[in-house]
Amino acid sequence: MTLDELHQQLLAAGCNPNNYAIGNWEGMYDGICLAQFNNEWHIFYAERGQQQQIFSTFESQDMACQAFLHIILNMEHRHLVGFFQTSDAAEALCNLLTEAGLSPIQDMIPYSSGPSPVRYRVFVVGKEIFKARETLGENIQVSTT
């Protein structure tokens, strides 16, 4: 398996590219990476752009890609489809996605100390991103209103 084939398989499976890096991992904020160092392929965790724990080392690209594919496919891949100031707006999006047969996840996070100190996020998981794009349009608009 090549790096490009690996990349295409992960995208087709609904994996979120924000969770992993293939080849060029510099700047990876927080995720699992596959990269070549000298003649070895390493699967490792990167945090804040720094290589942390090495999980596995391989001599062949094919074996490294197969192992990486297995690891990434077994992760939960959330895709942000909504970011709102009000719970009503997030709930409306959740209702729309539920009516389309999806299982959205909603949460609330601290945001600022201003007049609206929290934001409401809506996610779909894995391959549901394809149905969400179909339902909401290819360019999912993340709103702050």
Contact (Cβ atoms closer than 8 angstroms) between residue 59 and residue 1: no
Tally the domains of the chain: 2
Question: What is the C-alpha to C-alpha distance for residues 84 and 66, in angstroms, rounded to an integer?
Answer: 38
Q: Decide if 144 is inside a domain.
A: no
Q: Are residues 99 and 119 in the same domain?
A: yes
- 88 phi and psi angles, rounded to 5 deg: -60, -40
Domain presence at residue 141:
no
- Cα distances from 87 to residues 78, 98, 144, in angstroms, run 19, 16, 11
In whole angstroms, how far apart are CA 67 and each of 6, 44, 70, 109? 10, 12, 5, 34
Asked if 45 and 63 sit in the same domain, the reply is: yes
63: in domain: yes
- Which residues, in sequence order, are bridge partners of residue 44? 33, 54
Residues 84 and 62 in one domain: no
**Sheet containing 118-125, strands listed edge to edge, beginning at the edge strand earlier in sequence:** 78-84, 118-125, 105-110
Handedness of CA 131, 134, 136, 141 (dihedral sign): positive
Q: Which two tokens stand for residue 58?
A: 């391989």
**89-133, pLDDT tens digit by residue?**
999 999 999 999 999 999 999 988 777 789 999 999 999 999 999
Residues 85 and 68 grouped into a single domain = no
Closest CA to 56 of 45, 46, 48, 47: 45
Contact criterion met (CB below 8 Å) for 132 and 122:
no
| End-of-domain residue from the set 52, 73, 94 | 73
Q: What's this model's pTM, rounded to 2 decimal places?
A: 0.84
Tell me which of 73, 91, 124 is where a domain ends: 73
User: pLDDT by residue (tens digit) across 3-60?
Assistant: 999 999 999 999 999 999 998 877 777 899 999 999 999 999 998 877 788 999 999 9
Asked if 66 and 7 sit in the same domain, the reply is yes
Residues 21 and 48 in one domain: yes
Contact in structure between 126 and 77 (CB atoms under 8 Å): yes
Instruction: Find the domain containing 88 and state its range.
Output: 78-136
Whether residue 89 lies inside any domain: the answer is yes
| Same domain for 95 and 54 | no
Q: In the block, which residue shows the tokens 């724990």?
A: 53
Asked if residue 112 belongs to a domain, the reply is yes
